[in-house]
Chains A and B, each alone.
Chain A
């Protein structure tokens, strides 16, 4: 039986940074990952946006932390993650969106976000050539940005290893044994573990893992496709988000990476509730039609590649960060709803403080993202 202080299941967007902070705090940390290497669940499919611009205080707090961590890696430690503070721009072309964004600004500003309403003229400076016809303005948060998920997760994995965390790839959890109110053993296809704390950071497979301790959690993955173009000289700064739904799709968003490519993604309508990660023929015509309508000059780009990943969704679009009742050594950090990449670093840092500390730290997050909430409504900026 292998023992450790913290056993993290999942070496992805959330598990890897958590392992780094746990190991830094002196906890003996082991990470089990069924994929062949780090970040190969859904981190590989993240497009790279990192924003603190959310509609709820918890995610704002976590992502502000994430941005600080990423900036520290990029500028403090000199590890290139291709971070660019291009900001996030939510555009409004109708009354409904304008009202919603303006209303949200109050919450967002109260939470300390650097965000404001900007007029069409300013938008056309940030994204020259964007359709001006019908544009009412938008909210712009200049401190948000984007970076490479691959570079970020690789850097965090390397740092975690250097700090002493141990990673075990290609290993699958088969069962977890409950004794009293504790998980006494985690058995994989290769080994048995006893851990002070077990962390479920299993992303799209979190619900199956939870069911091994008879816990039902409302995390259901849906599939989203994304794509990347050839690189061109920088012409736009922000991540552009249009949340206006149409007949075939919900929101879509794209940005120009530090290396020049446009990276893009869309939420199809209806959502595709499946785990298949192979591409379909409908994605490109769907997303490109909307992108070129918003931004005509994108028509001159060339699409290089597409891929498909999963959003581990919860019913209300908010994550579950919880210590479930009756299982004293289990921490759930699941249901990131497609935002694991941006939430991961901040969440890792804050939760490691709790795991290594008195166990009371950041109770506000556990209160807001409890498993025992009603899961009503849907986060507007999801």
Chain B
């Protein structure tokens, strides 16, 4: 069983009964109620089915109920394993080719779909949706918030790290899942708000109704007056040969498996993309005991916050800049990734190729907004606003403000006399800022009393260290006049309490003091298992950029419960006290390339439409043969005709057209129609035999 029994920050799931099930007849054990896909992973099974077109192995891709690549036969019916709860005795099977339709001759008693009513339907219960729903409920509207996950909070639920931002405004320093609980509690306290979880909206209809797939088992309709689309974002897939192998998936899917479901989904991963998602995904891997062979970034600089990147590098993970992925290869699963540097036209330099042995490749190449419902709502003439990533991709902290602002603008449209606090607008702008300047800090020296040393030198919207300091000795040095400014220690009153060390989301603050001429002590943050570390043990200490400084000696350890962070007090030579900030976690061997580089470079083989398995080469040929300018015409070769409804391939198509010599300006966009995900016929007829709650019962 590949479960994560001990995690330094994530809570263990509430105890669930162990149940027996079978996969292709083989006995397996899982936890009742967990996703079937999770149970399969926990049993070491990553290859779920075979694609009907060419037998290609299929596995987890979105882990989000959207793509259908994880489909398996469960008790004779095709189901998405990532949204089907495990029950005792389930007969789970590989789908070979097309599944047979069960010869079931019992006529259903068809009923009309249940109809729910609300003033405002909020689609999505992440940070912006929750914040918007609270505001609208406070304005007196009846609000129905629908979310496709069992737990509210959207991606916050997967964020086991502490958040940037400001503590006063957006819970900075608090871990993502705890922020979600705080927002949820506010909404649950509103009597005029209903919440339906585990139930995706599956279509908008012109007669001002939305279809909802309750518990992925029953279909109902919602009648609304206006919409808030806060459906978040989805990870952009990218094109490289082997991008369809089981084991290549988004960092978000990985976080679902590792942080939510606590399965050790991989032994060693390689990460594509150095934005915050890729950096944090790498960190989460390490925390789960999974090695990270490296991160590649096609741009010449790190794309995420510098403190995040520094932190990852310190753990022993190399970041390869100006580098792209050439191929992912393996026999039915990921076994090897090959990367290479790019020239100034982004073309790979094949002689710089290096291969790494990994079993998983995480794609963190950016997000695109889930704004289909918004576009449809506009086309249909509905009253609608969007919020959060569906509006603009940014940090969760800014999404909370964005949600409130969108909610109030909607209230205004609907005739309420409200005004939007200018400070909210300002805060949203600051919180979604890209990083600013990197400012060199002056060297500091250890004195007899404790003092903080800051290793954050890039302007980002963040200030928890200033608010947690009991003596108010940490201040932002005013330059921009916002929380983008960098913190400095002012005065002499540091009690060595380590609150700043524990609170810093970037793990970029240490405390130091001199003991004698030769020796000093430092207090360092540590978010890994430290139970087994004993006083006196040797600790490999690293500088800001991961360079080994010296082996320190553990003098004391202390677990800060509020921030779920260990504070390690280490003794080291005074000369180095101001340099160290990290403790090496990963051995260097984990990051070594294979002695021999081995790959075949066939970029036209990259899969664009995963549902129907259509490659770059096939699409380019079709575009040329038929002088295609209208994306809808690609449906002729089934691009976008699969189960996911073009959610994955649509963002990739412009670059495929460019490859065929067609610029993006002349392109006609594809049409989006319901359903947004497949729903059973019996479920639409309210006759499903699933254990679904009724719509009214589900709305709490």
Interface members, chain B 65-105 (any A CB < 8 Å): 77-78, 97-105
- Is the CB of A298 closer than 8 A to any CB of chain B? yes
B668 close to A (CB within 8 Å): yes
A157 contact set on B, CB distance < 8 A? 626
Q: In the complex the two chains form, what is the Cα distance from A161 to B380 in whole Å?
A: 36
- Chain A residues with CB under 8 Å of B679's CB are 302-303
**Contact assessment for A281 and B205 in the assembled complex, using a CB-CB cutoff below 8 Å:** yes
- Tell me, in angstroms, the Cα distance from A152 to B672 when the chains sit together: 22
**Considering the chains assembled together, what is the distance between the CA atoms of A158 and B629 in angstroms?**
14
CB neighbours (8 Å) of A362 from chain B are none
| A59 proximal to B (CB < 8 A) | no
Counting CB contacts under 8 A, is A282 at the interface?
A: yes
Interface presence of A131 (CB below 8 A): yes
Q: A233 and B101: CB pair below 8 A?
A: yes
In the complex, identify which listed stretch (B403-411, B500-508, B562-570, B630-638) lies at the interface while the others stay far away: B630-638
Known A-B contacts A280-B205, A300-B681; A232 and B632 likewise in contact (beta carbons under 8 Å): no
**Which of A259, A288, A301, A306 is the one whose CB lies under 8 Å from B674?**
A306
Q: Is A168 an interface residue (CB 8 A)?
A: no
CB pair B678–A304 under 8 Å, yes or no, is yes
Q: Are A299 and B206 in contact (CB under 8 A)?
A: no
Residue of B nearest to A148 (CB): B636
Complex Cα spacing A301 to B684, Å = 11
Q: Assuming the A-B contacts A37-B630, A280-B206, are A230 and B110 also in contact, with contact meaning beta carbons closer than 8 angstroms in the complex?
A: no
Docked CA distance A285–B207 (Å): 14
- Whether B685 and A232, one on each chain, are in contact in the complex, defined by CB atoms closer than 8 angstroms, is no
Contact residue among B104, B221, B635 (Cβ-Cβ distance under 8 Å from A281): B221
Q: How far is the CB of A74 from chain B (nearest CB, A)?
A: 15
CB-defined interface of A36-69 with B at 8 Å, one 1/0 digit per residue? Answer: 1110100010000000000000000000000000
Q: Per-residue 0/1 for A331-357: is the Cβ within 8 Å of any B Cβ (1 yes, 0 no)?
A: 000000000000000000000000000
Chain A residue contacts of B629, Cβ below 8 A: 36-37, 169
Taking CB as reference atom, which chain A residue is nearest B627?
A161
Please tell me if the beta carbons of A292 and B205 are within 8 angstroms of each other in the complex: no
Q: Is A296 an interface residue (CB 8 A)?
A: yes
- Contact indicator A298/B681 (Cβ below 8 Å): yes
**A289 on interface, CB distance cutoff 8 Å:** yes
Judged by a CB distance under 8 angstroms, whether A128 is at the interface is yes
**Residue A303 contacts which of B628, B636, B678 (CB distance < 8 angstroms)?**
B678
Q: Give chain B's interface secondary structure class.
A: loop
Contact A230 B78 (CB under 8 A): yes
Q: How far is the CB of B244 from chain A (nearest CB, A)?
A: 19
Chain B residues near A304: list those with CB within 8 A. 643, 645, 675, 678
Determine the chain B residues whose CB is within 8 A of the CB of A300 once the complex forms.
77, 101-102, 104, 680-682
Interface pair B673/A279, CB less than 8 Å apart: yes
Chain B residue nearest to A149 (CB atoms) is: B636
Contact check, A305 vs B635: say whether CB atoms are below 8 A apart. no
B413 to chain A, nearest CB (A): 22
Q: For B104, list chain A residues within 8 Å (CB).
A: 129, 296-297, 299-300
Contact with B along A136-180 (1 / 0, CB 8 A): 000000000000101100100110010000000100000000000
How many whole Å from B232's CB to the nearest CB in chain A?
22
A246 at the interface (CB under 8 A from B): no
A260 to B638 alpha-carbon distance, docked (Å):
13
Nearest-CB residue, chain B, relative to A152? B636
**A122 in the interface (beta carbon within 8 A):** no
User: Complex formed: what's the CA distance from A282 to B645 in Å?
Assistant: 21
For the complex, is B209 an interface residue (Cβ under 8 Å from A)? yes
Contact B680 A302 (CB under 8 A): yes
CB interface residues, B 625-679, toward A, < 8 Å: 625-630, 632-633, 635-636, 638, 643, 645, 668, 673-675, 678-679
Chain A residues in 8 Å Cβ range of B207: 280-282
User: Is B107 on the interface with A (CB-CB < 8 A)?
Assistant: yes
Whether the Cβ atoms of B678 and A230 lie closer than 8 Å is yes
A376 at the interface (CB under 8 A from B): no
A-side interface residues, number (CB < 8 Å): 49
A158→B108 CA distance, assembly (Å) = 46
Neighbouring B residues of A284 by C-beta, 8 Å:
684
Nearest-neighbour CB distance to chain B for A125, whole angstroms, equals 14
Which residues of A are found within 8 Å of B100, using beta-carbon distances?
232-233, 235
**Given A300-B101, A302-B679, A302-B680, do A307 and B673 touch, yes or no (CB 8 Å)?**
yes
Check: B353 CB closer than 8 A to any chain A CB. no
Is A278 interfacial (CB 8 A cutoff)? yes
State which of B78, B636, B680 has its C-beta within 8 Å of the C-beta of A150: B636
B366 on interface, CB distance cutoff 8 Å: no
**Which chain A residues in 53-91 approach chain B with CB under 8 Å?**
none
Bound complex: CA A305 to CA B682 (Å): 15
The yes or no answer to B412 lying at the interface (CB within 8 A) is no
Given known contacts A131-B107, A297-B101, A300-B102, is B685 in contact with A285 (CB within 8 Å)?
yes
Nearest CB in chain A to that of B632: its residue: A40
- Which chain A residues border B205 with CB–CB below 8 Å? 278-281
The chain A residue sitting closest to B221, CB to CB, is A281
Chain A residues near B687: list those with CB within 8 A. Answer: 299
Question: Is B464 located at the chain interface by the 8 A CB criterion?
Answer: no
Which of A151, A297, A306 has a CB less than 8 Å from the CB of B102? A297
Interface centre among A157, A232, A278, A299 (most CB of B within 10 A): A299
B252-277 toward A: CB 8 Å interface, digit per residue (1/0)? 00000000000000000000000000
| Alpha-carbon separation in the docked complex, A180 to B507 (Å) | 87
Contact A289 B685 (CB under 8 A): yes
Question: Within the complex, what minimum Cβ distance (angstroms) separates A188 from chain B?
Answer: 18
Taking CB atoms, residues of chain A closer than 8 Å to B495 are none
- Residues of A near B110 (CB, < 8 A) are 285, 288-289, 292-293
Using a CB-CB cutoff of 8 Å, which residues 202-217 of chain B contact chain A?
203, 205-207, 209, 211
A154 partner, pick from B636, B645, B682, beta carbons under 8 A: B636
Chain B, residue nearest A230 (CB)? B678
Whether B108 lies near A292 (C-beta < 8 A) is: yes
Q: How far is the CA of A282 from the CA of B113 in the complex (A)?
A: 10
Q: How far is the CA of A150 from the CA of B106 in the complex (A)?
A: 35
Residues on B with beta carbons closer than 8 Å to the beta carbon of A158? 625-626
The listed residue with most B CB atoms (<10 A of its CB), out of A157, A280, A281, A296, is A281
In Å, the complex CA distance between A291 and B645 comes to 24
Let me know if A285 and B113 touch, CB within 8 A. yes
Which A residues are CB-close (under 8 A) to B379? Answer: 278
Interface residue? B52 (CB, 8 A): yes
> Which 4 pairs across A and B sit closest by C-beta, in order of nearness?
A37-B630, A278-B206, A302-B678, A281-B205
What are some 18 contacts across the A-B interface (CB < 8 A)? A150-B636, A154-B633, A232-B98, A232-B100, A235-B100, A280-B207, A281-B113, A281-B209, A292-B110, A292-B682, A293-B110, A296-B105, A297-B101, A297-B103, A300-B101, A301-B680, A303-B675, A303-B679
